[in-house]
Amino acid sequence: MGRVEDAARTANADEFIRQLPKGYETDIGPRGSTMSGGQRQRLAIARAVYQNSSILILDEATSALDSRSELSVRQALERLMKNHTVLVIAHRLETVLMAKRVFLLDNGKLEELSHSALLSDRHDMDTSNPAAFVNADLLRLYVGKRVRALIQVVRSDGGSVVGKSTDDGQIIVKGNPPVPPTNFVEVIGVADSDKSIRAEIWTNFGDAIDTHNYNQLCQLANSDFKHLFI
């Protein structure tokens, strides 16, 4: 069991596994049908770590995930890359930039790209989710535009949620979450004022998260490095 747990920790899966009804003995259904997309991805990485293969091929390992799940999977990939040769097939720029060497497959031809060329040309990176990372202070720069923000829920006022942003400012989120919100929630929507967001997507982030790191991400995404963000 020790080897199984070590593999799960490397894949960022140990914490959620221990929260399952029977921990590591829980039946998760055929092909992990009771798990979320991010959990299934991390379990797949854990299996690869357990098998101790010298070369691993990961096809779109961070696709179709919400922000928190994607972050967990990317952290797992970073650990994996320290001791394995990993071939990552991806369209998301953030995932591609994790690699030491980058190749573009275009019309049957393979071309090696430097990281600087990749950033300047952007090629065919996924731009399907252009919401800008913001905190309460940065929200004023994006009125009328699509944004994403992490808030700590302070109260719900029938049709809106009042939250504390990662910079300790207040953000009002308009709309009703599809499920009861946890302590921390990421919202994606349109900034309809410098104080409020009309939500389109709600993602529960649980009861604890490192808000400092998320706030640094917001600042980085609005600095000279904004070209790194989709």
CATH of the domain at 170: 2.40.50.140
Average pLDDT, the chain: 80
CATH code, domain with 17 = 3.40.50.300
Assign residue 190 a region (left: φ > 0; alpha: ψ between -120 and 50; beta: otherwise).
beta
- Residue that terminates a domain, selected from 37, 64, 89: 89
Secondary structure element (H or E) that encloses residue 35, with its range: none
Q: Which residue has the higher pLDDT, 78 or 224?
A: 78
Task: Tell me what percent of the chain is helix, strand and coil, each rounded to the nearest 5.
Answer: 35, 25, 35
pLDDT number for residue 125: 45
Q: Which residue has the higher pLDDT, 81 or 194?
A: 194
> Do residues 83 and 146 share a domain?
no
CA 50 to CA 46: how far, in whole Å?
A: 6
Model confidence over 114-170: pLDDT tens digits? 766 665 554 444 444 467 889 999 999 989 888 889 999 999 887 899 999 999 999
Domain that holds residue 207: 132-228
Residue 209 lies in a domain: yes
- Tell me the one-letter amino acid at 63: S
Please answer whether residues 202 and 160 qualify as being in contact, where contact means their C-beta atoms are separated by less than 8 angstroms: no
Place of tokens 């379990």: 43
Residue 182 lies in a domain: yes
> Do residues 137 and 224 share a domain?
yes
Please answer whether residues 221 and 132 qualify as being in contact, where contact means their C-beta atoms are separated by less than 8 angstroms: yes
Residue 169 lies in a domain: yes
Q: Which two tokens stand for residue 109?
A: 């031809």
Phi, psi torsion values for 102, nearest 5 degrees: -125, 135
CB neighbours of 16 closer than 8 A, spacing ≥ 6?
A: 39, 42
Q: How many domains does the chain divide into?
A: 2
Per residue, what are the HEC states of 99-158?
A: CCCEEEEECCEEEEECHHHHHHHCCCCCCCCCCEECCCCHHHHHECCEEEEEEEEEEECC
Model confidence over 39-88: pLDDT tens digits? 888 888 888 788 877 787 877 776 656 666 666 677 777 777 777 788 88
Model confidence over 35-50: pLDDT tens digits? 887 788 888 888 878 8
pLDDT number for residue 124: 46
> Do residues 71 and 143 share a domain?
no
Please state, as a whole number, how many other Cβ atoms lie within 10 Å of the Cβ of residue 27. Answer: 9
> Do residues 72 and 18 share a domain?
yes
